[in-house]
Amino acid sequence: MRPYLRVQNVYENRIDISDINEMNFDAVEYETFRLKFGDLLLNEGQSTKLVGRPAIYRDELPGACFQNTLVRFRPYPQVNGEFALVVFRAYMHSGRFQKEAQQTTNIAHLSAGRFARMEFPLPPLPEQIRIVERVNELSQMCDHFELNLKKAALAAAALLSTAVRDLLATELQPCGTSPIPSVPKPHKTRSSAR
């Protein structure tokens, strides 16, 4: 029995091993479906929005295989795996995978054959690395902005809650029943007239 990954384990940019199944793989099947560090896995069958959802396998589950509901992309020496992940994430979010997928009742399928026919940009390796570094910088900025927006939203909600609580805690009089405040009379001062 060997552990294997399936669609439920592959999320965008991460592998979740909290729910793992096992099955028998003979020696030939094991060589065919065995995962190696750096392999990219993409969801073959998924909702239209999530078809092609990619992640890099980083030995999260040593000795694991993959189910044929996933497409494996094994980078070769001229392809940086992190660059391939950037490309595949862009394809997922831009709708490129959806255009290539075959739609059934409610599942989109991106077969290995359709995937293999897709275009793949291939700049020189140093440029791939530079692109990955820049995407990572921009992603960190976006994460920072998102965190600040969440903090601002929490602060705004707390401020609103406090304002409503304070407003309800004051003694409000029904309209027309509150006494009119008296206006203080001006003080008379004696002036000395000579």
In a domain, 185, yes or no: no
Query: Given this model, what pLDDT does residue 190 score?
Result: 61
Q: How many domains does the chain have?
A: 2
In a domain, 190, yes or no: no
Whether 176 shows a pLDDT value over 60: the answer reads no
pTM flag (> 0.85): no
CATH code of 71's domain: 3.90.220
Task: Return the minimum-mean-pLDDT range out of 104-118, 127-141, 162-176.
Answer: 162-176
User: DSSP for 125-168?
Assistant: HHHHHHHHHHHHHHHHHHHHHHHHHHHHHHHHHHHHHHHHHHHH
**Residues 61 and 11 grouped into a single domain:** yes
In a domain, 143, yes or no: yes
**Residues 130 and 58 grouped into a single domain:** no
In a domain, 107, yes or no: yes
**Residues 69 and 97 grouped into a single domain:** yes
Task: Return the minimum-mean-pLDDT range out of 49-63, 130-144, 157-171, 176-190.
Answer: 176-190
In a domain, 155, yes or no: yes
Q: For residue 151, what are the domain limits?
A: 123-164
How many whole angstroms from its chain centre is CA 173? Answer: 50
**Residues 54 and 105 grouped into a single domain:** yes
**Residues 49 and 106 grouped into a single domain:** yes
- Which tens digits make up the pLDDT trace of 87-116? 999 999 998 888 888 877 777 778 788 888
CB-CB contact of 110 with 71 (8 Å): yes
**Residues 7 and 57 grouped into a single domain:** yes
- Which tens digits make up the pLDDT trace of 37-65? 999 999 887 777 888 899 999 999 999 99
Q: Which of 29-38, 41-50, 140-149 holds the top average pLDDT? A: 29-38
In a domain, 184, yes or no: no
